[in-house]
Amino acid sequence: MKFTPRSPSSFSGFNSSLKHPIYFVLSSNIFPSFMATLSTQTDSHEDPDDRLCAATSGCSSLQQNCSSSSSSAALPMSSESPSPSSSLGSPARCLNGEWRIDRAWTHWKKLGQPKLMVAPMVDNSELPFRMLCRKYGAGAAYTPMLHSRIFSENEKYRTQEFTTCKEDRPLFVQFCANDPDILLEAARMVEPHCDYVDINLGCPQRIARRGNYGAFLMDNLPLIKSLVQKLADNLHVPVSCKIRIFSNLQDTITYARMLEDAGCSLLAVHGRTRDEKDGKKFRADWNAIKAVKGAVKIPVLANGNIRHMDDVHRCLEETGADGVLSAESLLENPALFAGFRTAEWVEADEESNIDGKLDQADLLVEYLKLCESYPVPWRIIRSHVHKMLGDWFRIHPQVREDLNAQSRLTFEFLYDMVNRLRELGTRIPLYVKGSHAGGPTENGVDTRN
């Protein structure tokens, strides 16, 4: 079997310094002067990729017009008291530690204790991508990080950046924040539509340093505690946190226990420090995740180095975690949790791996169809096209150049592009282990389609 060599970056077509493009968009949003510019911007100054893909079908607003044609909706936001589907009932204000732990597990069990999760990804874990991953085995998913202040203040931001539908559950809605009252205001708007409100305590980007959120709050643990307590004491839906580790294990454990005591009901641990930004360069420390799992009583999810299902099994076994999150690898291969793997993870002598009769172009077409039902800005679709077809573009760089030359995308152009790649004779299969081939996986997902 001949396997495709890979280039060092899986983000071809993008400047590598822009791996997390929305962090830059949000960074601008954090400054009020730019905010004003944003809200008064005329169409002529808009980046064409920020248009919603629905615009091609004459649908300019995600809020109403499109929701009738699909089950997706930008949700009517209100701070009225919701009636969430949470199994927790009333806020945790008066509960002692043991009761809170019990409630955390009751809720997690009610959700079916999902093991395989789509990690939060700015500009990448949006509704259609979540739905695609769910089809291929993901048991739960996070939204991209939302900026709590902008979310609470700006309706346009809410309608564009947060969409969901009734099948999009269990769902974690993630916010970055540094003010408990503002965080609560934003959280109240989403709590009827999600299963956890998550606090981003792991973003290591420069913009998070400037905005004082994400992993930079690790320098101010009392502030983190107040954020968690505020939500735990006032929301009906439980609060979860996604953290990075400290370089000192004991600090990480103390941190995790503090979060649990403050009312956190579920903890996702990314096993890298905030200085270990490059996921390809630094392996996640699963031992630290194991230590956290042993130190707290709430459910713990492991994050880092989940590239295929063998990693999932090893990670769950080695850390004892209750589930895993995957990010970068899912972007290339949204069918990862259904047992498919890219050629990169197939050893040449591993004869048990066979063509899974599914490839990344098939997945892209499925994704595009979901985008037709659940409109998102074109910049997000463009980003997914590059990530899913990166290997294909390396073989036919002129196809990528044609894509990059399009300042305005259409679905027609993208479907034609996939056909052109196929006509050029390109096909890079996704592989499955023999026993999984063409049948239902352990996640109950039938991979024959």
Ligand X SMILES: Cc1cc2nc3c(=O)[nH]c(=O)nc-3n(C[C@H](O)[C@H](O)[C@H](O)COP(=O)(O)O)c2cc1C
Residues marked active site are found at 203
Residue 292: CB minimum distance to ligand X, A: 15
Q: Which stretch binds ligand X (CB under 6 A): 2-10, 130-138, 216-224, 298-306?
A: 298-306
Residue 302: CB minimum distance to ligand X, A: 10
Among 10, 13, 20, 269, binds ligand X (CB under 6 A): 20
What is the footprint of ligand X within residues 130-159 (CB under 6 A)? 144-145
What ranges in 136-220 are assigned the alpha helix state H?
148-153, 155-161, 180-190, 206-211
* Beta carbons within 10 angstroms of residue 224's beta carbon: 23
Residue 357: CB minimum distance to ligand X, A: 26
Residue among 54, 56, 82 nearest 68 (CA):
54
Among 159, 200, 252, 265, binds ligand X (CB under 6 A): 200
What is the footprint of ligand X within residues 364-393 (CB under 6 A)? none
What is the C-alpha separation between 294 and 319, in angstroms, rounded? Answer: 9
Told to check if 305 binds ligand X by CB under 6 A, we report yes
Residue 155 parent element (H or E): helix 155-161
Among 148, 159, 163, 326, binds ligand X (CB under 6 A): 326
Residue 270: CB minimum distance to ligand X, A: 4
Residue 303: CB minimum distance to ligand X, A: 5
Residue 327: CB minimum distance to ligand X, A: 3
Positions of E strands within 335-407? 353-359
Told to check if 279 binds ligand X by CB under 6 A, we report yes
Whose Cβ is closer to ligand X: residue 192's or residue 304's?
Answer: 304
Q: Which stretch binds ligand X (CB under 6 A): 71-79, 86-94, 303-311, 369-377?
A: 303-311
Among 311, 328, 359, 366, binds ligand X (CB under 6 A): 328
Total residues in contact with ligand X, by rule CB under 6 A: 23
Among 180, 192, 304, 429, binds ligand X (CB under 6 A): 304
Whose Cβ is closer to ligand X: residue 147's or residue 230's?
Answer: 147
Residue 355: CB minimum distance to ligand X, A: 25
Whose Cβ is closer to ligand X: residue 144's or residue 263's?
Answer: 144
Instruction: 443-447: list long-range contacts, CB under 8 Å, 24+ apart.
Output: 443/116, 443/137, 443/139, 443/337, 443/338, 445/135, 445/136, 445/137, 445/337, 445/338, 447/136, 447/335, 447/338, 447/339, 447/340, 447/356, 447/358
Q: Which stretch binds ligand X (CB under 6 A): 100-108, 184-192, 197-205, 436-444?
A: 197-205
The 3-state DSSP class for residue 266 equals strand
Whose Cβ is closer to ligand X: residue 135's or residue 147's?
Answer: 147
What is the C-alpha separation between 78 and 127, in angstroms, rounded? Answer: 21
Crossing angle of helices 286-295 and 309-319, rounded to 10°: 50
Among 122, 224, 338, 368, binds ligand X (CB under 6 A): 122
Helices (H) and strands (E) in the chain, counts: 18, 13
Query: Residue 310 contacts by C-beta under 8 Å, 6 or more apart in sequence?
Result: none
Whose Cβ is closer to ligand X: residue 170's or residue 202's?
Answer: 202
Q: HSE (CB half, 13 Å, CA atoms) of 165?
A: 22
The tokens for 288 are 């630290």
Q: Which stretch binds ligand X (CB under 6 A): 109-117, 323-331, 356-364, 374-382?
A: 323-331
Distance of CA 205 to the CA centre of its chain: 16
Residue among 193, 172, 187 nearest 234 (CA):
187
Told to check if 306 binds ligand X by CB under 6 A, we report yes
- In contact, 213 and 145? CB cutoff 8 Å: no
Whose Cβ is closer to ligand X: residue 202's or residue 375's?
Answer: 202
What is the C-alpha separation between 147 and 137, in angstroms, rounded? Answer: 29
Told to check if 53 binds ligand X by CB under 6 A, we report no
- Closest residue to ligand X: CB criterion: 145
Among 10, 124, 333, 353, binds ligand X (CB under 6 A): 124
Among 242, 290, 382, 386, binds ligand X (CB under 6 A): 242
Told to check if 327 binds ligand X by CB under 6 A, we report yes
Told to check if 270 binds ligand X by CB under 6 A, we report yes
Phi, psi (deg, nearest 5) at residue 116: -115, 115
What is the C-alpha separation between 64 and 61, in angstroms, rounded? Answer: 7
Q: For the chain, how long is the longest CA-to-CA vector?
A: 65
- In contact, 13 and 403? CB cutoff 8 Å: yes
Among 170, 180, 192, 202, binds ligand X (CB under 6 A): 202
Q: Residues in the site for ligand X, rule: CB under 6 A?
A: 20, 119-122, 124, 144-145, 174, 200, 202-203, 242, 270, 279, 303-306, 326-329
